[in-house]
A and B are shown apart, each in its own frame.
Chain A
Amino acid sequence: MTASAIETMAQAQADSGPQNRAQALARLKFADVGFRLLTQLSATLVLLLLLGVAISLFIGSWPAFRAFGFDFFISDAWSPPKERFGAYAAIYGTLATSAIAMLIGVPVGLGIAVFLTELCPPSLRRPIGVAIELLAGIPSIIYGIWGVYYLKPIMQAYVQPAIIATLGAVPGVGLLFAGPPLGYGVLTAGLVLAVMILPFVTAISRDVFETVPPVLKEAAYGVGATTFEVVGGIVIPYARVGVIGGVMLALGRALGETMAVTFVIGNATRVSASILAQGTTISAMIANQFADADPGLFTASLLALGFILFIITFIVLAAARLMLARMAIKEGR
């Protein structure tokens, strides 16, 4: 029976005076079931979309996986004319820039959140909070322009020469900080990413920190705990699920960021020991080369890169879920 048929029936009954109770109930039940089906459909649609993206990416990239096999993951060759492709340089660049971004962005972001919720004078709380939220709203291309016009020259003129002269001179570790100071590189890209993820870490951590019941903190202060002890022992443990959520969201953004990274990383399909050297990331490769990729192995290899990024992001999110589940078990919830 169609919905319009029901409506006409209902209308007819309403016109014919006293209602039939059973029929009215059936109508309500139908609306209920209909609503459930509608929401269910929406939810399934998300799953289908996810599956569809994964499958179409995999089908598109299959020629590359078939041609290169496992070598695709460990080779840093990238030569369209010779049709030799490898994802290693792009995977390495993606992970390295994200790692640098997390290493800097997470502690700083948490620090800001702690300051805002625990230590900040109320008059400063709003301006800083709003500034952080505005930072989250800036389009990534703006960060790219900032990176290439302001950060990169500073890195080239001051920061990188200083790093090369000090850390670069240390035997062993020095390899990580070697090379000419060209401004462009993995470190610069990591720094831009760190600034980009900062608001995510801060905004979410601040919100969850504010959910910590004041009575817990007051009790701790009451027994003589310092602010540092309260934050480390009460606030962060209480809010860690939310904090980890924010960190993972930030990591997701760092892994997939395209334009800002493309501007400053130097777009070189090489793997270097030094974090000052130029590199590339998966999304930067795709942005730079997809327009002129020939159909065939070139396009398939770029799609394969996309598929790998998809998998990496999936693993990150799955790991975060797993971590949260483990914590819940430990706490006996």
Chain B
Amino acid sequence: MFIRTLISATIVAASVTCASAGDISGAGATFPFPIYAKWADAYKTATGDGLNYQSIGSGAGIKQIKAKTVTFGATDAPLEPKDLDAAGLEQWPMVMGGIVLVVNLDGIKSGELVIDGPTLAQIYLGTITKWNDPAIKKLNPKVDLPDLAVAAIHRADGSGTTFNFTNYLDKVSPEWEAKIGESTSVEWPSGIGAKGNDGVANNVAGTKGAIGYVEYAYAKQNHLTYANMINAAGKTVAPTIEAFQAAAANADWSKAPGFYLILSNQPGEQSWPMTAATFILMYKKPVDVTASNAALKFFTYCYDKGADQAKALDYIPMPDAVIAQVKKAWAADIAQN
């Protein structure tokens, strides 16, 4: 799996051109890859049309769609409306999910460790270097924390997960905001870089004392130990689909031009603090209208029939009202003949 991302990144240029005529080609975010793969599989069974999706990271997805090598780009870091207009791109949210903290500590099980935003920022700033640091101890009085170095794992590639993660740290830590900021790729003051959500998952699984941030499905599939978090309301929450949904319920998509909306650090007692939507980018005036229409047909299928599959993988399907809004935008903006 670790190798897969590394290889897929290097062969992307080759594979997108090799895609067979009937296939829809897309590239980008690794965060929604598990659900896109599942949808593609179901769509292939239902219609016979395949999807060739390269999970190479949000930054690369934006690059590929701008280079017009793919029919659609996928990103977790939404483009701002002015960038969309400049490039002639249409953007919409496809599905929502949670970013969770995964740790590798002997004897500590999922949900036993609690971390809050400021402490997380200190860990990634490199000011907290040991697991038995007073700040972590204070949050976890009952947990036997080892005298072990903290290996903070982050993304080495341009990543929408990193964008949402650093966006959250920005909101909870003034020091982080002043020193590092939010972006798909930041200048990490400490820690270890890994490529892709699966790279982070793998490094955490293989490194004692590691902490990392991945999309929930990656934590689940790799049987990683996740940590609970303290949200904006000051409550301890576990990463569950209910908690992601509580955060997502706050979103008012109808007032977001270009569907530009970030879901981190949402209010509400149940809200998971690192919830995120993932987006699709397509040209309003596509070069290949047939391919573009085929992609829209696939996305329509995902919206209409894919909700249960999304839930099964702990993603949150978009609400019906948002789907109607997205379809209206397609009809109005994307040239379909």
Binding site for B on A (CB under 8 A): 77-81, 141, 145, 148-149, 152-153, 156-157, 180-184, 259, 262, 266-270, 278, 280, 287-289, 291-295
In order of increasing CB-CB distance, the 5 nearest A-B pairs are: A267-B193, A292-B59, A180-B149, A292-B60, A292-B158
Partner of A288, one of B190, B195, B209: B195
A79 to chain B: which residues have CB within 8 Å? 183, 185-187
Of the candidates B56, B61, B67, B208, the one having the most CB atoms from chain A within 10 angstroms of its own CB is B208
Q: Tell me, rounded to whole Å, the shortest Cβ–Cβ distance linking B288 to chain A.
A: 21
A266 to chain B: which residues have CB within 8 Å? 191-193
A16 vs B149: C-alpha distance in the bound complex, in angstroms? 92
Partner of B208, one of A148, A156, A184, A288: A156
Q: Does B107 contact A (CB under 8 A)?
A: no
Q: Does B84 contact A (CB under 8 A)?
A: no
Give me 27 A-to-B residue pairs in the complex whose CB atoms sit less than 8 angstroms apart, sorted by A's number: A80-B158, A80-B185, A81-B181, A81-B184, A141-B3, A148-B203, A153-B206, A157-B208, A180-B129, A180-B130, A180-B150, A182-B149, A182-B207, A184-B203, A262-B195, A266-B191, A266-B193, A267-B156, A268-B190, A278-B193, A289-B156, A291-B10, A291-B57, A291-B157, A292-B60, A292-B62, A295-B63
- Contact status A182-B192, CB under 8 Å: yes
A44 vs B185: C-alpha distance in the bound complex, in angstroms? 43
A77 to chain B: which residues have CB within 8 Å? 187
A278 vs B191: C-alpha distance in the bound complex, in angstroms? 8
Find the B residue at minimum CB distance from A80. B185
Q: Apart from A152-B207, A180-B130, A291-B56, what 6 extra A-B contacts exist at CB < 8 Å?
A: A81-B181, A268-B193, A289-B156, A289-B158, A291-B63, A295-B66
B183 to chain A: which residues have CB within 8 Å? 79-81
- Contact status B149-A291, CB under 8 Å: no
Q: Tell me, rounded to whole Å, the shortest Cβ–Cβ distance linking A193 to chain B.
A: 18
Binding site for A on B (CB under 8 A): 2-3, 6, 9-10, 12, 56-63, 66-67, 129-130, 149-151, 156-158, 181, 183-195, 203, 206-209
A288 to chain B: which residues have CB within 8 Å? 156-157, 193, 195
- Contact status A267-B192, CB under 8 Å: yes
Find the A residue at minimum CB distance from B3. A141
A268 to chain B: which residues have CB within 8 Å? 188, 190-193
B63 to chain A: which residues have CB within 8 Å? 291-295
A280 to chain B: which residues have CB within 8 Å? 193
- Contact status A184-B187, CB under 8 Å: no
- Contact status B12-A291, CB under 8 Å: yes
B188 to chain A: which residues have CB within 8 Å? 268
Find the A residue at minimum CB distance from B57. A292
A280 vs B62: C-alpha distance in the bound complex, in angstroms? 25
A128 vs B165: C-alpha distance in the bound complex, in angstroms? 51
Q: Tell me, rounded to whole Å, the shortest Cβ–Cβ distance linking A93 to chain B.
A: 12
A183 to chain B: which residues have CB within 8 Å? 151, 207
A78 vs B187: C-alpha distance in the bound complex, in angstroms? 7
A171 vs B187: C-alpha distance in the bound complex, in angstroms? 30
- Contact status A292-B56, CB under 8 Å: yes
A141 to chain B: which residues have CB within 8 Å? 3
B60 to chain A: which residues have CB within 8 Å? 291-292
A269 vs B190: C-alpha distance in the bound complex, in angstroms? 9
Partner of A278, one of B12, B187, B192: B192
B209 to chain A: which residues have CB within 8 Å? 182
- Contact status B187-A269, CB under 8 Å: yes
Q: Tell me, rounded to whole Å, the shortest Cβ–Cβ distance linking B285 to chain A.
A: 20
Q: Tell me, rounded to whole Å, the shortest Cβ–Cβ distance linking B82 to chain A.
A: 16
B158 to chain A: which residues have CB within 8 Å? 80, 289, 292
Q: Tell me, rounded to whole Å, the shortest Cβ–Cβ distance linking B172 to chain A.
A: 20
A269 to chain B: which residues have CB within 8 Å? 187
B3 to chain A: which residues have CB within 8 Å? 141, 145
Of the candidates A182, A266, A278, the one having the most CB atoms from chain B within 10 angstroms of its own CB is A182
A288 vs B59: C-alpha distance in the bound complex, in angstroms? 12
Q: Tell me, rounded to whole Å, the shortest Cβ–Cβ distance linking B140 to chain A.
A: 20
- Contact status A184-B192, CB under 8 Å: yes
Q: Tell me, rounded to whole Å, the shortest Cβ–Cβ distance linking A134 to chain B.
A: 21
Q: Tell me, rounded to whole Å, the shortest Cβ–Cβ distance linking A69 to chain B.
A: 20
Q: Tell me, rounded to whole Å, the shortest Cβ–Cβ distance linking A277 to chain B.
A: 9
A107 vs B203: C-alpha distance in the bound complex, in angstroms? 32
A269 vs B187: C-alpha distance in the bound complex, in angstroms? 8
Q: Tell me, rounded to whole Å, the shortest Cβ–Cβ distance linking B177 to chain A.
A: 14
B189 to chain A: which residues have CB within 8 Å? 270
Find the B residue at minimum CB distance from A272. B190
Q: Tell me, rounded to whole Å, the shortest Cβ–Cβ distance linking B145 to chain A.
A: 15
Find the A residue at minimum CB distance from B192. A266
Q: Tell me, rounded to whole Å, the shortest Cβ–Cβ distance linking B81 to chain A.
A: 18
Partner of B6, one of A152, A259, A293: A259
Partner of B151, one of A145, A157, A182, A262: A182
B156 to chain A: which residues have CB within 8 Å? 267, 288-289
A156 to chain B: which residues have CB within 8 Å? 207-208
Find the A residue at minimum CB distance from B12. A291
Q: Tell me, rounded to whole Å, the shortest Cβ–Cβ distance linking A139 to chain B.
A: 11
Q: Tell me, rounded to whole Å, the shortest Cβ–Cβ distance linking A292 to chain B.
A: 3
A136 vs B290: C-alpha distance in the bound complex, in angstroms? 49
A269 vs B203: C-alpha distance in the bound complex, in angstroms? 18
A245 vs B63: C-alpha distance in the bound complex, in angstroms? 42
Q: Tell me, rounded to whole Å, the shortest Cβ–Cβ distance linking A260 to chain B.
A: 11
A270 vs B189: C-alpha distance in the bound complex, in angstroms? 8
A182 to chain B: which residues have CB within 8 Å? 149, 151, 192, 207, 209
A130 vs B58: C-alpha distance in the bound complex, in angstroms? 46
Q: Tell me, rounded to whole Å, the shortest Cβ–Cβ distance linking A140 to chain B.
A: 12
Find the B residue at minimum CB distance from A284. B156
A292 vs B13: C-alpha distance in the bound complex, in angstroms? 12
Find the B residue at minimum CB distance from A183. B207
Q: Tell me, rounded to whole Å, the shortest Cβ–Cβ distance linking A10 to chain B.
A: 47
A191 vs B44: C-alpha distance in the bound complex, in angstroms? 46
A145 to chain B: which residues have CB within 8 Å? 3
Q: Tell me, rounded to whole Å, the shortest Cβ–Cβ distance linking B224 to chain A.
A: 16
A157 vs B130: C-alpha distance in the bound complex, in angstroms? 15
A232 vs B215: C-alpha distance in the bound complex, in angstroms? 59
